[in-house]
Structure 1
Amino acid sequence: MSVLDIHDLKVEFPGRKSTFVAVEGVTLKLEAGKVLGVVGESGAGKSTVGNAVIGLLQEPGRVAEGEIFLHGQRIDNLPDKEKRLMRGRRIGMIFQDPLTSLDPLQTVESQLVETIRTHMPFNAKEARTRAIELIDAVGIPDPAERIKQYPHQFSGGMRQRVVIALALCAEPELVIADEPTTALDVSIQAQILELMKKLCEERNVAMLVITHDMGVIADITDHVAVMYQGKLVEYGETKQVLGAPNHPYTQSLISAVPRPDVRINRFPVVNYIEKAGVPTKHIDISTHWLGQSRNYEKANGALLSIKDLEMRFETHGSIIPSRRRYFHAVKKVSFDIQEGETFGLVGESGSGKSTIARLVTGLYHPSGGSILFAGQELTSLKDRKQVLAMRRQMQMIFQDPFSSLNARMRVRDIIAEPIKFHKLASSNSEVHQIVADLLDHVGLGAAAGQKFPHEFSGGQRQRISIARALATRPRFLICDEPTSALDVSIQAQILNLLKDLQEELGLTMLFISHDLAVIRQMCNRIGVMRHGELCEVSDCDALFDTPQHDYTRQLLGLMPSLDLLSRDKLQAV
Structure 2
Amino acid sequence: MTLLDIQALSVAFPTRRQTFVAVDNADLNVEPGEIHGLVGESGAGKSTIGAAVMGLLERPGRITDGTISLQGDAISGLDRAAMQALRGQRISMIFQDPLTSLNPLFTVREQLTETISTHLDVTDAEANQRAIDLLTRVGIPEPELRIDQYPHQFSGGMRQRVVIALALCSEPEVIIADEPTTALDVSIQAQILDLIKELARERQVGVILITHDMGVIADTTDRVTVMYQGEVVESGPTAQVMGDPKHEYTQSLIAAVPRPTVKMHRFPQVSYGGRETAFAIEDLARNWDKPQVDRAKPLYQIEGLTKRFLKKGSLIPSQRQFMTAVDRVSFDVMQGEVFGIVGESGSGKSTIARMIAGLYRSDGGSIRFDGQETHTLGDDYRRQIQMIFQDPYSSLNPRMRVDQIIAEPAKHHGILAGQALKDRVDELLDRVGLGKEAGLKFAHEFSGGQRQRISIARALATQPRFLICDEPTSALDVSIQAQILNILKDLQEHLNLTMLFISHDLPVVRQMCDRVMVMRNGQLVELQETEALFAKPQQPYTQELLSLMPRLDALKAAPSV
Tell me if TM exceeds 0.5. yes
Amino acid at match of 1:309: L
Task: Please state whether the residue corresponding to 2:426 is helix, strand or coil.
Answer: helix
- Once the 2 structures are TM-superposed, how far is the Cα of residue 513 of structure 1 from its aligned partner? 1.4
- Once the 2 structures are TM-superposed, how far is the Cα of residue 521 of structure 1 from its aligned partner? 0.5
Match of 1:376 in 2: 372
CA distance in 2, matches of 1:179, 1:170: 20
Per-residue CA shift, 1:212-266, capped at 9, x if unaligned?
A: 1112211211000011110101100001111111112111221121111121111
CA distance in 1, matches of 2:117, 2:318: 48
Give the direction of change, closer, same or farther, for the CA distance of 1:303–1:6 in structure 2 (3 Å limit): same
Amino acid at match of 2:57: L
Per-residue CA shift, 1:45-79, capped at 9, x if unaligned?
A: 01111111222212221111112222122221223
Check if 1:264 corresponds to 2:264: yes
- Once the 2 structures are TM-superposed, how far is the Cα of residue 349 of structure 1 from its aligned partner? 2.1
Count, aligned residues: 561
Match of 2:475 in 1: 485
Amino acid at match of 2:277: V
- Once the 2 structures are TM-superposed, how far is the Cα of residue 329 of structure 1 from its aligned partner? 2.3
Match of 2:44 in 1: 44
**Residue 255 of structure 1 contacts residue 570 of structure 1 at CA under 8 Å; is this kept in 2?**
no
Give the direction of change, closer, same or farther, for the CA distance of 1:418–1:108 in structure 2 (3 Å limit): closer
Per-residue CA shift, 1:456-513, capped at 9, x if unaligned?
A: 1111111111111111122211111111111111111000001111111111111111
Match of 1:279 in 2: 278
Match of 1:417 in 2: 408
CA distance in 2, matches of 1:191, 1:284: 45
Write out aligned runs for 1:188-227 (5 A): 188-227=188-227
Give the direction of change, closer, same or farther, for the CA distance of 1:250–1:375 in structure 2 (3 Å limit): same
Check if 1:367 corresponds to 2:363: yes
Q: Say which of 336, 344, 360 aligns to 2:340.
A: 344
CA distance in 1, matches of 2:132, 2:351: 36
Match of 2:2 in 1: 2
Give the direction of change, closer, same or farther, for the CA distance of 1:145–1:420 in structure 2 (3 Å limit): closer
Check if 1:536 corresponds to 2:526: yes
Give the direction of change, closer, same or farther, for the CA distance of 1:49–1:294 in structure 2 (3 Å limit): same
Give the direction of change, closer, same or farther, for the CA distance of 1:376–1:3 in structure 2 (3 Å limit): same
Write out aligned runs for 1:371-410 (5 A): 371-379=367-375, 381=376, 386-410=377-401
Higher mean C-alpha displacement, 252-261 vs 108-117: 108-117
- Once the 2 structures are TM-superposed, how far is the Cα of residue 277 of structure 1 from its aligned partner? 4.7
Give the direction of change, closer, same or farther, for the CA distance of 1:79–1:332 in structure 2 (3 Å limit): closer
CA distance in 1, matches of 2:149, 2:321: 22
Per-residue CA shift, 1:341-395, capped at 9, x if unaligned?
A: 111111122222222222222223333322222222223x1xxxx4222222222
Per-residue CA shift, 1:521-543, capped at 9, x if unaligned?
A: 10011111112211111010100
Pair member with larger Rg: 1
Amino acid at match of 2:394: S
- Once the 2 structures are TM-superposed, how far is the Cα of residue 101 of structure 1 from its aligned partner? 2.8
- Once the 2 structures are TM-superposed, how far is the Cα of residue 320 of structure 1 from its aligned partner? 8.2
**Residue 22 of structure 1 contacts residue 230 of structure 1 at CA under 8 Å; is this kept in 2?**
yes
Amino acid at match of 1:442: V
Per-residue CA shift, 1:172-193, capped at 9, x if unaligned?
A: 3322111111111211111010
CA distance in 1, matches of 2:357, 2:141: 38
**Residue 262 of structure 2 contacts residue 558 of structure 2 at CA under 8 Å; is this kept in 1?**
no
Write out aligned runs for 1:125-204 (5 A): 159-204=159-204
Match of 1:309 in 2: 305
Match of 1:429 in 2: 419
Give the direction of change, closer, same or farther, for the CA distance of 1:394–1:66 in structure 2 (3 Å limit): same
- Once the 2 structures are TM-superposed, how far is the Cα of residue 419 of structure 1 from its aligned partner? 2.2
CA distance in 1, matches of 2:232, 2:286: 46
Give the direction of change, closer, same or farther, for the CA distance of 1:569–1:316 in structure 2 (3 Å limit): closer
Per-residue CA shift, 1:530-568, capped at 9, x if unaligned?
A: 122111110101001111112111211221132134546
Amino acid at match of 2:349: K
- Once the 2 structures are TM-superposed, how far is the Cα of residue 136 of structure 1 from its aligned partner? 6.5
Per-residue CA shift, 1:100-129, capped at 9, x if unaligned?
A: 334455555554554455445566677667
Task: Please state whether the residue corresponding to 2:469 is helix, strand or coil.
Answer: strand
CA distance in 2, matches of 1:474, 1:150: 36
Q: Say which of 486, 496, 517 aligns to 1:527.
A: 517
- Once the 2 structures are TM-superposed, how far is the Cα of residue 450 of structure 1 from its aligned partner? 1.3
Task: Please state whether the residue corresponding to 1:287 is helix, strand or coil.
Answer: helix
Amino acid at match of 1:406: N
**Residue 296 of structure 2 contacts residue 334 of structure 2 at CA under 8 Å; is this kept in 1?**
no
Give the direction of change, closer, same or farther, for the CA distance of 1:134–1:444 in structure 2 (3 Å limit): closer
**Residue 471 of structure 2 contacts residue 501 of structure 2 at CA under 8 Å; is this kept in 1?**
yes
Amino acid at match of 2:384: Q
- Once the 2 structures are TM-superposed, how far is the Cα of residue 402 of structure 1 from its aligned partner? 1.6
Amino acid at match of 1:189: Q
CA distance in 2, matches of 1:146, 1:374: 41
Per-residue CA shift, 1:148-207, capped at 9, x if unaligned?
A: 776567665565455444434444332211111111121111101000110111111111
CA distance in 1, matches of 2:282, 2:499: 20
Task: Please state whether the residue corresponding to 1:100 is helix, strand or coil.
Answer: coil
Task: Please state whether the residue corresponding to 1:266 is helix, strand or coil.
Answer: coil
**Residue 94 of structure 1 contacts residue 177 of structure 1 at CA under 8 Å; is this kept in 2?**
yes
Give the direction of change, closer, same or farther, for the CA distance of 1:357–1:239 in structure 2 (3 Å limit): same
Q: Say which of 445, 466, 485 aligns to 1:455.
A: 445
Match of 1:501 in 2: 491
CA distance in 1, matches of 2:324, 2:121: 48
Match of 1:467 in 2: 457
Match of 1:61 in 2: 61
CA distance in 1, matches of 2:152, 2:88: 23
Match of 1:355 in 2: 351
CA distance in 2, matches of 1:152, 1:355: 15
CA distance in 2, matches of 1:130, 1:396: 41
Per-residue CA shift, 1:4-48, capped at 9, x if unaligned?
A: 111111111111221111100101121111111111112110111
**Residue 242 of structure 1 contacts residue 566 of structure 1 at CA under 8 Å; is this kept in 2?**
no
- Once the 2 structures are TM-superposed, how far is the Cα of residue 87 of structure 1 from its aligned partner? 1.6
**Residue 253 of structure 2 contacts residue 478 of structure 2 at CA under 8 Å; is this kept in 1?**
yes
Amino acid at match of 1:71: Q
Check if 1:517 corresponds to 2:507: yes
Amino acid at match of 1:88: G
Gaps of 5+ in 1: none
Per-residue CA shift, 1:298-346, capped at 9, x if unaligned?
A: 6982122212222334556789876665432222222112211111111
Percent of paired sites with the same residue: 61
**Residue 290 of structure 2 contacts residue 496 of structure 2 at CA under 8 Å; is this kept in 1?**
no
